[in-house]
Amino acid sequence: MSYFDAASAAPLHPVARQALTASLDEGWADPARLYREGRKARMLLDAAREAAAEAVGCRADEVVFTSSGTRAVHTGIAGALAGRRRVGRHLIVSAVEHSSVLHSAEVFEADGGTVTRVPVNRAGAVDPSGYADALRPDTALAVLQSANHEVGTVQPVAEAAEVCRAAGVPLLVDAAQSLGWGPVEGAWSLLTASAHKWGGPSGAGLLVVRKGVRFAAQGPADERESGRAPGFENIPAVVAAVASLRAVRAEAAQEAVRLRELTERIRARVPRLVPDVEVVGDPERRLPGIVTFSCLYVDGEALLHELDREGFSVSSGSSCTSSTLTPSHVLKAMGVLSEGNVRVSLPMGAAEEDVERFLEVLPGTVAGLREKLGTPAPETAVQAGELVVDSLGKRCPIPVIELARAFGDVPVGGTVRVLSDDEAARLDIPAWCEMRGQEYVGEEPADKGTAYVVRRVR
Amino acid sequence: MSYFDAASAAPLHPVARQALTASLDEGWADPARLYREGRKARMLLDAAREAAAEAVGCRADEVVFTSSGTRAVHTGIAGALAGRRRVGRHLIVSAVEHSSVLHSAEVFEADGGTVTRVPVNRAGAVDPSGYADALRPDTALAVLQSANHEVGTVQPVAEAAEVCRAAGVPLLVDAAQSLGWGPVEGAWSLLTASAHKWGGPSGAGLLVVRKGVRFAAQGPADERESGRAPGFENIPAVVAAVASLRAVRAEAAQEAVRLRELTERIRARVPRLVPDVEVVGDPERRLPGIVTFSCLYVDGEALLHELDREGFSVSSGSSCTSSTLTPSHVLKAMGVLSEGNVRVSLPMGAAEEDVERFLEVLPGTVAGLREKLGTPAPETAVQAGELVVDSLGKRCPIPVIELARAFGDVPVGGTVRVLSDDEAARLDIPAWCEMRGQEYVGEEPADKGTAYVVRRVR
């Protein structure tokens, strides 16, 4: 079995397991109590806080342990926004943040706040000037991930932090994907992270609030974790989280080189081994272990299923793998193909032979799926001298397949109009044009669904 | 070492430890993913949910796993109040609920809601008629604990639930202290619990929302746990929580008899062994393992410290052991003595000989502390024929000690006026009168602090 979905959850690091089981005996009591068992629990918690602070590069009293990375994000954003409510109610996020950030932004909007979503380039990166342009006198908070969880692109956090600092606006950095690799540089004000992303246990997140940052914890009062994370502390999880962070950091520099070489193989070889593939994300400024690509004319869910049968656990941003049947918001913001999408995220210690086997298995798997799809010839008609493809009621990847099939009948200079009510078409038809070097004219509302117009330019 | 503070946190049950370590290997992946590791995690989570439902007496799809009991309470109250917002914005709680409930009520009030706090009798129990009287046409939710965490008194939950059901108002039962002993009877609508109270691990709480109960989860959206508990699931903790719940339930009937007998010894013998003690809480309708008493003329923090030196870990509701220097709100609501307060809460499996040793050690410890206190004679003056004791600036238990010392100089029929600015005096001077059979006349504002007036009637 090859588990290649570390960006979702990394397997428990042996050090985490050891620290967790070791601290079960001394970490169960209430650290607020003054008796012996409470004092032992407090000592474990204090030591973990010191070690976490050292790994993050902050003061111990700036560290709050939460029950998950998502909780850290929810708490951090809500508290920072409330703390600067007098300044204003404007929030800046990038378009490719984790859903916990974007959902926090939605709640803030529903409550009357205003949100600016900074766009990204085709590689998934924001430009710091995008943050500079978004800043307003009433900006309470800006949020930026250290690196993207779906495509691995590293964001210019230090530059964005500097832009924010100059304007007196705190920047919250979601470091979920990168903290295991190293501290976040720059003048950030708040930071969040999630232990199970670096091989720590479930049940432990990290929220850092720098001294001097205005912060007003929301929700019912609670004395634990400086009033910022209610509920009984999960000390064994915290101890294991911090112990494993130190352990992965000790291996990080060496392992980064090794994983980067492995993902570079995938980046380089997949487009040669599999026709009609787009590798997405920044080729240089990226996390060591993540590589993402999309395959034209392939159903993402079927691809995941086949790879699972072959022993590979990967994830996908294709619409068919989402409960809402919409493509990943990250791929959408990047404007890249979402069909047949595969994210490979290697855990630390991933074996070279597993990566090689993946590269062996992938071409046949994709070819088999493409063959099996065997869609009937598309329903086409010529209206006003233009070819119209009726893909209504059909789901990704069918509309793009039908476009490709019908395209042979379009003369150079002519246009084809694809009717579709599938959300993925809005992303994938322009992406297909980009890949094929054809002109995407645009979309128009149709009687049913949307009409996507493509001009044959070669 | 004798750990007698199970009501704060029970030591990890061996079954919890075993289940936790066993599920670390299969419970770390994302249960929402379709690959092998995700499916394994999902199976563990589903099985835990089924088992939790069976133990609670509800449907599996009514069970939400949270990161703590406090989170379950916060989420349950906020969601139920929001779900019935159209009905109205009135909340009913008892005066002796856990702080997580009372803090939720405070947040609700700050947001414009109205809260009725149902009083308790001297034993710490509510009367169901108190809930009936509190119900209004705009009542959105009522909350009642199954049993009190500080004095062990069992509440008439089924009766209160019936009163609420008849009025169409959901009742949320905070079952944190009792779920290990058995399911909560009656027509409750929501239920909360905390695994570490029954010997489960930290990091696992339970929120049950019955089908048909209107519930609108608050905060940023998240797909996990039916949208009611955001953040990556802590599956090993959940598995361990449920496994240990089943384990303690299997021993509950027998262990309840044994612990009840041990706490009965303490209830009966402490007043005989230690002079000037008030045992509080209902002598009959009570949890098996909790017994609470208060000792006149003793500093609670010093008592805890001495007992810790003797190897006993207990807690206290005395003002001196609280960060806010106010007595426990539970003791206050009951109107009982708070000074020198000790809660003994025996974990399952507590040894008889440890209880016996506690009864041996306690009298000398209390006597030693009373001797050590050796306060100087109180500053008294006679004003308008009344004895005035100036205890301003002195903390619990000094004002009561000075009252007792000065009392010898008060003729039968005469009054004494104690000036104090200590919050505990408001509770402890009337409690002293009750214990001594003297008349508490009342309190009056004074130039500094408050004047407490006591009449000698015998």
Please state, in angstroms and rounded to a whole number, the distance separating the CA atoms of residues A37 and B99: 22
Q: Which of B248, B283, B318 is the last residue of a domain?
A: B248
Rounded distance between C-alpha atoms, residue A416 and residue A451, angstroms: 10
Q: Are residues A273 and A138 both part of a single domain? A: no
Which residues, 6+ apart, have CB-to-CB distance to A191 below 8 Å? Answer: A56, A58, A172, A173, A174, A175, A184, A206, A207, A208
Q: Is the pLDDT of residue A321 over 90?
A: no
- Is A150 in the same domain as A63? yes
A152 and A224 both lie in a single domain: yes
Q: What is the pLDDT of residue B413?
A: 95
The average pLDDT across B427-455 equals: 96
Nearest-by-Cβ selection for B5 from A21, A33, A233: A33
A 280-309 residues with CB < 8 A to B: 301, 304-305, 308
A344: which residues sit within 8 A by CB, 6+ positions away? A4, A263, A266, A290, A291, A292, A314, A358
Per-residue confidence (pLDDT) for residue B320, from 0 to 100: 86
SS3 content of chain A, % helix, strand, coil (to 5): 40, 20, 40
Answer left, alpha or beta for residue A437, where phi above 0 means left and psi between -120 and 50 means alpha. left
In this predicted structure, what is the pLDDT of residue B344? 98
Do B256 and B385 belong to one domain?
no
Query: Mean pLDDT over residues B26-51, rounded?
Result: 96
State the Cα angle at B289 between B285 and B294, rounded to 5°: 80
- At B450 the pLDDT is 97
Q: What is the 3-state secondary structure (H, E, C) of A236-296?
A: HHHHHHHHHHHHHHHHHHHHHHHHHHHHHHHHHHHHHHCCCEEEECCCCCECCCEEEEEEC
Average pLDDT for B227-247: 97
**Claim to verify: residue A191 and residue A319 sit in the same structural domain:** no
Q: Is A225 left (phi over 0), alpha (psi -120 to 50) or beta?
A: left
pLDDT bucket at B396, cuts 50 / 70 / 90: very high
**SS3 category, A189:** coil
pLDDT of residue A173: 98
Residues from chain B contacting residue A304 (CB–CB below 8 Å): 34-35
Q: Are strands A415-420 and A439-445 parallel, antiparallel or unpaired?
A: unpaired
Inform me whether the pLDDT recorded for B232 exceeds 80. Answer: yes
219-238 of B, contacting A, C-beta below 8 A: 219-223, 230-237
Beta-ladder partners of B434: none
**Residues in Cβ contact with B261 at an 8 Å cutoff, skipping those fewer than 6 apart:** none
* Any domain includes B106: yes
Tell me if B237 and A232 make a contact (CB, 8 A cut-off).
no
CA distance to partner chain B, nearest, from residue A343 (Å): 13
Angle at B325 between CA B126 and CA A27, to 5 degrees: 85
Residues from chain B contacting residue A74 (CB–CB below 8 Å)? 219-220, 230
Burial B310-344 (b: 16+ CB within 10 A, else e): eebbbbbbbbbbbeeebbbbbbbbbbbbbbbbbbb
On whether both B102 and B209 belong to a single domain, the answer is yes
Shortest distance between the Cα of A9 and any Cα of chain B, in A, equals 6
Q: What percent of chain A has pLDDT over 90?
A: 95
Q: Is B314 a domain residue?
A: yes
* DSSP-derived 3-state class of residue A213: coil
CA distance B129 to B141: 16
CA distance B95 to B111: 20
pLDDT of B376 reads: 77
B3 domain residue, yes or no: no
Least confident of A1-5, A360-364, B280-284: A1-5
Residues B235 and B326 in one domain: no
Q: What is the CATH number of the domain that holds B418?
A: 3.30.110.40
How does residue B444 score in pLDDT terms, banded at 50, 70 and 90? Answer: very high
Contacts of A72 (CB under 8 A, 6+ apart): A64, A66, A192, A193, A194, A205, A206, A207
> pLDDT band for position A93 (50/70/90)?
very high
Instruction: Using alpha carbons, select from B375, B383, B376 the residue that is nearest to residue B418.
Output: B383
For residue A257, the domain's CATH number is: 3.90.1150.10
Enumerate the H helices of A194-234 as residue ranges. Answer: none
Of A27, A103, A202, the CB nearest to B222: A103
- Nearest-angstrom CA–CA distance, B372 and A26: 34
What confidence tier does A348 reach under pLDDT thresholds 50, 70, 90?
very high
pLDDT, tens digit, for every residue of B78-127? 999 999 999 999 999 999 999 999 999 999 999 999 999 999 999 999 99
The two structure tokens encoding residue A38: 């409470």
Per DSSP, the three-state class of B342 is strand
Q: Which of A232, A248, A264 is the last residue before a domain boundary?
A: A248
For residue B2, is it within any domain? no
Let me know whether A260 and A394 are in one domain: no
State pLDDT tens for residues B324-336.
889 999 999 999 9
Q: Is A366 within a domain?
A: yes
pLDDT at site B92: 98
End-to-end Cα separation, chain B, in angstroms: 45
* CA B265 and chain centroid, separation: 22
Looking up residue B210, the CATH number of its domain turns out to be: 3.40.640.10
| pLDDT surpassing 80 at residue A230 | yes
Residue B331 lies in a domain: yes
Selected residues 10-29 of chain A with any CB under 8 Å from a CB in chain B: 10-12, 17, 20-21, 24-25, 27-29
CB proximity under 8 Å: B 160-199 to A? 194, 196
Which pLDDT value is given to residue A1?
A: 77
Which DSSP state fits A380?
A: E
pLDDT of residue B373: 81
Q: Is the residue at A4 inside a domain?
A: no
Q: Computed over its alpha carbons, how large is the radius of gyration of chain B?
A: 24
Same domain (yes/no): A128, A198: yes
Per-residue pLDDT tens digits for A102-153: 999 999 999 999 999 999 999 999 999 999 999 999 999 999 999 999 999 9
Residue B157 predicted with pLDDT over 80: yes
Determine the residue of chain B that is closest to A66 in CA distance.
Answer: B67
Interface A–B counts its CB contacts (< 8 A) at 200
Domain that holds residue B398: 380-455
Give the per-residue pLDDT at A4. Answer: 98
- Give the nearest partner residue to B315 out of A33, A234, A321, using CB atoms: A33
Structure tokens, A64: 């709050």
Q: How far, rounded to the nearest angstrom, does the alpha carbon of residue B258 sit from its chain's CA centroid?
A: 22
Contact B150, B128 (CB under 8 A): no
Q: How far apart are CA B300 and CA A296, in angstroms?
A: 73
Question: Residue B324: what pLDDT?
Answer: 82
Are residues B351 and B403 both part of a single domain? no
| Nearest residue of A to residue B200, measured between CA atoms | A28
Domain assignment present for A1: no
Q: Which residues 59-98 of chain B have a CB within 8 Å of chain A?
A: 67-71, 74, 78
| Mean pLDDT along residues B213-241 | 96
CA distance, residue B239 to nearest chain A CA (Å): 12
CB atoms B236 and A201 under 8 Å: yes
B263 and B239 fall within a common domain: no
Chain A residue numbers with beta carbons less than 8 Å from the beta carbon of B74 are: 219-220, 230
pLDDT of residue A373: 81
Q: Which two tokens stand for residue A370?
A: 């493409």
| pLDDT (tens digit per residue) in A373-414 | 866 788 999 998 899 999 999 999 999 999 999 999 999 999
B151 in the same domain as B87 = yes
Quote the strand ranges of A346-449, DSSP E. Answer: 380-383, 386-390, 415-420, 439-445
Which one, of A214, A151, A153, A148, lies nearest residue A176 by Cα?
A: A148
Indicate the number of domains in chain A.
Answer: 3
Measured CA angle at B85 (ends B80, B90), to 5 deg: 80
3-state helix, strand, coil in chain B (%, to 5): 40, 20, 40
CA nearest A194: which of A7, A5, A3, A62?
A: A7
Q: What is the pLDDT of residue A270?
A: 98
- Residue of chain B with shortest Cα separation from A108: B220
**Final residue in a domain of this structure, among B229, B248, B267:** B248
- Catalytic residue (one of B164, B295, B320, B396): B320
Phi, psi angles (nearest 5°) of residue B427: -95, -40
Return mean pLDDT, chain B.
96
List of E strands, B240-391: 277-280, 290-295, 312-313, 341-345, 380-383, 386-390
Q: Do A36 and B67 touch (CB under 8 A)?
A: no
Question: Measuring CA to CA, how many Å separate B179 from each of A242, B56, B132, B246?
Answer: 32, 8, 25, 11
Whole-number pLDDT of residue B1: 78
Please classify residue A77 by burial: count the beta carbons closer than 10 Å to its beta carbon, then call 0-12 exposed, 13-18 middle and 19+ buried. Answer: buried
